[in-house]
A and B are shown apart, each in its own frame.
Chain A
């Protein structure tokens, strides 16, 4: 036990375990891989142009891009297992990061506003995200990614309702 002499017993404080988190939709993984592959294909296209009309040896771009593609696909698969969100009575949490793990929790009574986002590629995969803002910053403090559009809207409404109850 680390806390002694405190107002409450440490065992009564709800603890947030990494295993409690909800995994994200698998489509989110495919969406990320698709967007990475698209980007690399674009880079390959640029390289191909140089090879076709210039003097660039095609191996200079083809092999690095293939290697990058392989590495990023493996990375995405591994990193996807880490990602997850957790909705509790009083807060919302999100965890991510394979090499640099990061887990953030925002209590509902500190949320200023909350928004729902869906990108272009997200529309193809039915993937949306919910961003949560607290006071004082321009950047969003937490964004829950990899939800379906329906559940993202539900989540946003839920958070908005709970956070406005505190004002």
Chain B
């Protein structure tokens, strides 16, 4: 069938040494960053060796380690398992049963691209070790191995459940699904800029802040000590001027946030191409690290598409494709397609869920307890605290007007959020719409659900409402404050949908 010779242990491409070496070097660099940074320009001596000599020695050491790691890294096939053995000092053996393989993806970081090799990642449903990766294979080899693994996986699938496959002939060819040659979506530089500019800047700003903050505290001693006396002097005048400085700080934060989101979008989604095929979808993108994602339709748990006020202006959505996995792994496995227009979105939905409008949807009305809770937690409580603080400490009259404006807008947004919360169910799908400023919609096929919880706190009990939690292999989603009898009926109905379904859900 192929010339992979996988029955006996195999090593990756010899270039793997370089890939491992650079990845080790990067880890070491991160580790020694503080030492290097502080001693830059000063006379650094340990055992009468300087910084440079130590760098050479360590590099040599890592080269040897990398070569050993390369030698000890083998992969082969044993029975129905794909096996990876690795580790120099402590041997590790990873067994991946073919049936557990979800998808096989390739990726290229900068080093891998320069060397012309690709990394192969094997995704499992999250029940096995976190990440299974072969760092360096030649392109052809990786392609062959990928195809072979997927083939084996589906051969196995057919043996165990011939019946379901007969019903869905599409499932069979999932391994090497055909892809339309024309991408359904391609993002050029202008689109990327638009996507970047309409990002949730607040979030990317905070993220950047968190990263920078983390670094600063890590190297606090080195970075801040030299300025300590200066900082102490200015601290007092700084505090008295905070009111003046605050707008500047906010403006600076905004500018940096916008820049951060534009740059990160451009880097991760550079040359983004999104293909749709008979049995699955594929995505290529990346400036520094090139990633290819293959998602067979059968592996998609559900879709979620989001927008925000800026994106709504230019008609862009972000489509998130939820696959099976643990919460922790999910972030990396979470595939999102930025800047998709409504028309392409409908194309994708029609392809994946052609039957989504076969039956009429039944709407469920959320209880106004949601509005009351939001109003209390986001509106009244913060306002009360702020007003109390002002009354006892600051004593500024204009502050009350500000508080009133805040309260009014909080109430408005809470009410709109409550109004836009919509739940619709038909025999095949559940549709949940949430959010006024950041609207999101998610569409779950009922048979993809795995278990259902009904929750009722004592506050809800008083009002006769209950919340539902729907769990799929890609995580849980909430429906809050349904009238109790409706929640109960929906609970029973969705269970019925799961239990009466013969379709493969994973």
> Contact residues of A with B, CB < 8 Å?
2-8, 10, 13-16, 90-91, 99-110, 112, 134-138, 141-142, 167
Contact = CB atoms under 8 A, between A and B. Distances in A.
A99 B457 contact: yes
Given A99-B457, A135-B324, 6 more contacts: A3-B493, A13-B493, A14-B496, A103-B454, A112-B127, A137-B326
Contacts of B125: 135-136
Contacts of B425: 3
A108 B498 CA distance: 10
Contacts of B485: 2
Interface of B: 125-127, 160-161, 324-328, 359-360, 362, 425-427, 449-458, 461, 471-475, 485-486, 488-493, 495-496, 498-499, 501, 505-506
Given A3-B493, A110-B498, A135-B506, A104 B451 contact: yes
Nearest to B460: A101
Nearest to A92: B451
Contacts of A102: 453-456
Contact of B495 (A5, A91, A99, A101): A91
Contacts of A134: 450-451, 471, 473
A141 B125 CA distance: 16
A109 B461 CA distance: 32
Contacts of B362: 2-6
A109 B498 contact: yes
Contacts of B454: 102-104
Given A3-B362, A101-B461, A136-B473, A107 B495 contact: yes
A8 B327 CA distance: 35
Contacts of A138: 126, 326, 328
26 contacts: A2-B485, A3-B493, A6-B359, A6-B427, A8-B427, A13-B496, A14-B492, A16-B495, A90-B499, A91-B495, A100-B455, A100-B456, A101-B461, A102-B453, A102-B455, A102-B456, A106-B451, A107-B498, A135-B127, A136-B125, A136-B474, A137-B126, A137-B326, A138-B328, A141-B450, A167-B161
The 7 closest A-B pairs by CB, nearest first: A136-B473, A106-B451, A134-B450, A110-B450, A90-B499, A135-B473, A104-B453
Given A105-B451, A136-B474, A110 B505 contact: yes
Prevailing SS type, chain B contact patch: mixed
B450 A106 contact: yes
Contacts of B452: 104-105
Contacts of A16: 491-492, 495
Contacts of B473: 134-136
A83 to B, nearest CB: 15
Contacts of B327: 137
Contacts of B493: 3, 10, 13
Contacts of A99: 457-458
B455 A107 contact: no
Nearest to B448: A110
A114 B492 CA distance: 23
Nearest to B327: A137
Contacts of A3: 362, 425, 489, 493
A101 B451 contact: no
Nearest to B362: A3
Contact of B486 (A2, A6, A100): A2
Contacts of B359: 5-7
Nearest to A134: B450
B361 to A, nearest CB: 10
Contacts of A135: 125-127, 324, 450, 473, 506
A165 to B, nearest CB: 12
Interface centre among A13, A107, A137 (most CB of B within 10 A): A137
Contacts of A15: 488-489, 492
Given A16-B491, A103-B454, A5 B360 contact: yes
A164 to B, nearest CB: 11
Contacts of B453: 102-105
Interface centre among A90, A101, A134, A136 (most CB of B within 10 A): A136
A5 B461 CA distance: 30
Given A3-B489, A5-B360, A110-B451, A167 B160 contact: yes
Nearest to B476: A137
Interface centre among A3, A105, A135 (most CB of B within 10 A): A135
Interface centre among B362, B426, B499, B506 (most CB of A within 10 A): B499
Contacts of A104: 451-454
B243 to A, nearest CB: 43
A141 B316 CA distance: 36
B277 to A, nearest CB: 25
Contacts of A136: 125-126, 324-326, 450, 472-475
B489 A100 contact: no
